Structure 1
């Protein structure tokens, strides 16, 4: 299973990358950015619950003493990530929001070292740097929207990155006690509870009912881009280091760029292609086995 764990991360990134496609479709209903985020998380939690109740009811059982951990991963990770990312998109360009989001591997690498004693090897640092630079080239960087409140915007964007990265840390702890389905479900459930507080559910339902034909795809698309990727990511975390998993997740930027080119005719410039190559190089580098010199391995 360890050998295929990176493939589950890639699968998660391919699904996460489709978020833009789904979000654009949901936006045609007239929902705001925050309302779209709420719809995606809440509908995913409901569908996820029904599936578990019908086919895996035992996965719904958790110990009361662990509620704090699940609240932490749901509110501190998913909820914070969604809220901060939505706010960053409104304050700055989408490219800048994406770059700030993908500061997450840096947070994960540091936290994994502190809490799990994961080694920060030369190989990992090099891959981390390559992946981040690759993301810069893939999406480009625009300063649009940063003329005012630049410091606050950057801090909010980094909160999105921290929230995204926190899932790898808290998830690694919970996955030692629970199945990946359980961890993913309760994380989404607590995130859903948090988003409901920030929106007016009645207003969201009223807006959606004005476009009933779009509702099925809105709900299915939300589940596919929220619940399924977190299930894949959680499963992979059981078998690999949090730091490596976070770096591999950078492939989402590449996938999103390719979706844009194929589905919306967005042109890829030379710098974008170079960025894709750098991210792929980083992912390959992480999968190479370190050479051994005598009895001493690479540090």
Structure 2
């Protein structure tokens, strides 16, 4: 449990610095270039874990998997995360962090439409509270200084498309594996951005030597290690516990935005974050209840199976005893019949001897 808590806190800490790091990087690198670099690095860091996972599961990627993961990666990296990078550059870091954390709410809606995972009253309540949070974060009646309308739109697009990326990934993650799917989709999505960089003649590696810390931190720590700790937390607990990192992130991000970027946090951002945390807690408790209910049902099913097996065992034992009794009775009956046959044989022999003796006397 200590390992899980440590990984969740490290994930939240690294993800909480994401917007601040990308805002700094956005001033030194092209947006497409920085997104390409950090997800290519992150994908390569996760790849050894993916290869190990695939080996343990005895699964190898097929051509159909590569095509599917290319689509998943395209949704996640060139679309969602590029919008995220562009949005971060046009918003306050604290606002951007909170808006992107609305993606689990959009995931519920998209999953309801396209999968069998339907909305519940608790999910609907969480979504409604999340929408209220979004209204306070955006503050449409008077946009907060540092935020822009294009930036807010880009962040919302990033949140919605990342939700779509999540729902798409759920279709194949059980078959392909968490690390393998994430690493390969990151790499394939990054390769699409590489094509964009080359075609549009944007820089690919230029500027790295001048600003190595930005690339290394955003690629290795935020993307690579951040997702690594996140998946380790899930591996040793469950997805609901791992997702706590995303619930903690909106509370951590403003601290770095204030201390490093010098941003000021206004009242509406605080209120919006509180509403978002409330929506997260509603979602989390619902998932925990579902997990507990599933565990309870599993225990009941296991107890039922044990009882049925015990009943079958008693029936088998009774059948064996009945068979043994029948066999003993048959043996006893056979013994009686044999004795009777022997007695008849002996009686017949006496009759024959008596008849023979009578014939001798008469003769």
TM-score of the aligned structures, taking structure 1 as reference length: 0.71
Gaps (5+ residues) in structure 1? 292-299
After superposition, the CA RMSD in angstroms is: 4.2
| Change in 2 beyond 3 A, CA 1:130/1:36 | same
Residue matched to 2:176: 178
Where 2:207 maps in the other structure, the secondary structure is helix
Which aligned pairs between 1:1-299 and structure 2 lie closer than 5 A? 12-27=11-26, 30-49=28-47, 51-52=48-49, 58=55, 61-88=60-87, 93-94=91-92, 101=100, 104-137=103-136, 142=143, 145-146=148-149, 154=153, 158-200=156-198, 203-209=203-209, 211=210, 214-215=211-212, 218-231=215-228, 236=234, 239-240=238-239, 249=246, 251-288=248-285
Q: Whole-Å Cα distance in 2 between the matches of residues 6 and 78 of structure 1?
A: 28
| Change in 2 beyond 3 A, CA 1:110/1:56 | closer
Name the one with the larger helix percent. Answer: 2
1:208-232, Cα deviation, whole Å (9 max, x unpaired): 23x2xx4255224322222334445
8 Å Cα contact 1:101-1:158 kept in structure 2: yes
| Change in 2 beyond 3 A, CA 1:124/1:246 | farther
CA displacement at 1:196 relative to structure 2:
0.8
Q: Whole-Å Cα distance in 2 between the matches of residues 5 and 140 of structure 1?
A: 36
8 Å Cα contact 2:19-2:96 kept in structure 1: no
Q: Which of the two has higher C-alpha Rg?
A: 2
8 Å Cα contact 1:137-1:274 kept in structure 2: yes
Q: Whole-Å Cα distance in 2 between the matches of residues 230 and 282 of structure 1?
A: 23
8 Å Cα contact 2:257-2:263 kept in structure 1: yes
CA displacement at 1:83 relative to structure 2:
2.5
Q: Whole-Å Cα distance in 2 between the matches of residues 217 and 88 of structure 1?
A: 18
CA displacement at 1:76 relative to structure 2:
1.6
Residue matched to 1:296: none
Q: Whole-Å Cα distance in 2 between the matches of residues 100 and 6 of structure 1?
A: 25
Q: Whole-Å Cα distance in 2 between the matches of residues 290 and 179 of structure 1?
A: 26
CA displacement at 1:273 relative to structure 2:
3.0
8 Å Cα contact 1:101-1:157 kept in structure 2: yes
Gaps (5+ residues) in structure 2? 291-363
CA displacement at 1:193 relative to structure 2:
0.5
| Change in 2 beyond 3 A, CA 1:6/1:281 | farther
Where 2:208 maps in the other structure, the secondary structure is helix
| Change in 2 beyond 3 A, CA 1:133/1:112 | same
Q: Whole-Å Cα distance in 2 between the matches of residues 193 and 162 of structure 1?
A: 22
| Change in 2 beyond 3 A, CA 1:125/1:240 | farther
Q: Whole-Å Cα distance in 2 between the matches of residues 186 and 54 of structure 1?
A: 10
Q: Whole-Å Cα distance in 1 between the matches of residues 111 and 245 of structure 2?
A: 15
Where 1:199 maps in the other structure, the secondary structure is helix
| Change in 2 beyond 3 A, CA 1:246/1:127 | farther
TM-score of the aligned structures, taking structure 2 as reference length: 0.60
| Change in 2 beyond 3 A, CA 1:40/1:130 | same
8 Å Cα contact 2:105-2:130 kept in structure 1: no
Q: Whole-Å Cα distance in 1 between the matches of residues 23 and 265 of structure 2?
A: 20
Q: Whole-Å Cα distance in 2 between the matches of residues 75 and 54 of structure 1?
A: 21
Residue matched to 2:304: none
